[in-house]
Amino acid sequence: MPLNLAPNIPDPDGFYQELIDSQRDLDESAAALMNARLVLLLANHVGERDTLREALRLARPPAR
């Protein structure tokens, strides 16, 4: 399954708010831990190594 890069999240503004709200009361280290847990949960859900590899590649910040 190729990485889906087309818009796929219903109610994008609602989701974004949910994402931000989920960490609003967390300090920086707790938020970082939460992000790592989130990555692992979603990665397991995707499960396809090729798709994950593509996401890892795209997620890296571009070199400046």
Burial class, 51, CB count within 10 angstroms (exposed 0-12 / middle 13-18 / buried 19+): middle
Select from 1-9, 20-28, 37-45, 51-59 the region that touches other proteins (CB under 8 A).
37-45
Least CB distance from residue 38 to other proteins, whole Å?
9
Maximum alpha-carbon separation in the chain = 36
Q: Which is nearer to other proteins, 14 or 56 (CB)?
A: 56
Site of interaction with other proteins (CB under 8 A)? 32-33, 36-37, 39-41, 44
